[in-house]
């Protein structure tokens, strides 16, 4: 399973990249608004740090607006993936992008039926938001299971990108189900590393190392 960092903060992205565990980056207008830079400049900077898929989201809601914005974003770098909302106008644009060779990440997915339509339109990635489903007392990971199974049934090439990941359990469940990607904030990436037995074991090793005679 590929790991993307969900961030618009270049410092966070550089920190995750230095760990050697990320394969790409997802952004959205909310994340980029915190970066304090124009969208194109921020995406270009991210592309210089991470050599992998970089999702950049359009803000238009009409197909022609989405196409215009998406084409401009795609010009920034070969790794840019145009992030498109899962609405009817969005799917119209996705089909055209697919024909033009522009990769897309269809976002704000909350049902298996939406995911099936996005795949048929030619989406490169589908982004189900598991945390937001959990927030309204649903089971976000059930949706990942459904989408993965449907895509396998019909051999869709669209990759399932588990989004709105809130904690390590979401991450492990996505991997067990067979999701292609999980996108995580830096906080969760760091949580994946933590285990009390690791901390205890390291402390013991370091303490014992001090007892080794010095030549």
Catalytic residue IDs:
83
- What are φ and ψ of residue 134, in 5° steps? -60, -35
- Can you tell me the distance from the alpha carbon of 53 to that of 51, in angstroms, rounded to the nearest whole number? 7
List C-alpha distances in Å: 104 to 67, 70, 95.
11, 9, 10
Contacts of 113 (CB under 8 A, 6+ apart): none
Tokens of 152: 């396998």
- What are φ and ψ of residue 160, in 5° steps? -85, 115
Return the number of other C-beta atoms located less than 10 Å from residue 157's C-beta.
9
């Amino acid at each position: 399973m590929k790991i993307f960092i969900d961030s618009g903060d270049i410092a966070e992205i550089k920190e995750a990249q230095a760990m050697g565990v990320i394969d790409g980056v997802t952004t959205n207008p909310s994340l980029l608004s915190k970066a304090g830079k124009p969208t194109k400049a921020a995406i270009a900077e991210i592309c210089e740090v991470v050599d992998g898929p970089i999702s950049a989201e359009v803000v238009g809601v009409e197909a022609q607006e989405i196409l215009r914005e998406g084409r401009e974003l795609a010009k920034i770098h070969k790794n840019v993936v145009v992030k498109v909302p899962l609405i009817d106008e969005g799917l119209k644009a996705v089909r055209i992008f697919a024909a033009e060779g522009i990769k897309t990440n269809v976002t704000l997915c909350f049902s298996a039926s939406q995911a099936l339509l996005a795949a048929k339109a030619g989406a490169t990635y589908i982004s189900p938001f598991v945390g937001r489903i959990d927030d309204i007392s649903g089971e976000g990971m059930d949706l990942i299971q459904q989408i993965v199974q449907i895509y396998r049934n019909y051999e869709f090439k669209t990759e399932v990108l588990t989004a709105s990941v809130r904690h390590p359990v979401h991450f492990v469940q996505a991997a067990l189900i067979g999701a292609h990607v999980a996108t995580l904030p830096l906080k969760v990436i760091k949580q994946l590393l933590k285990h009390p037995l690791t901390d205890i074991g390291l402390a013991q090793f370091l303490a014992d190392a001090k007892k080794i005679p010095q030549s």
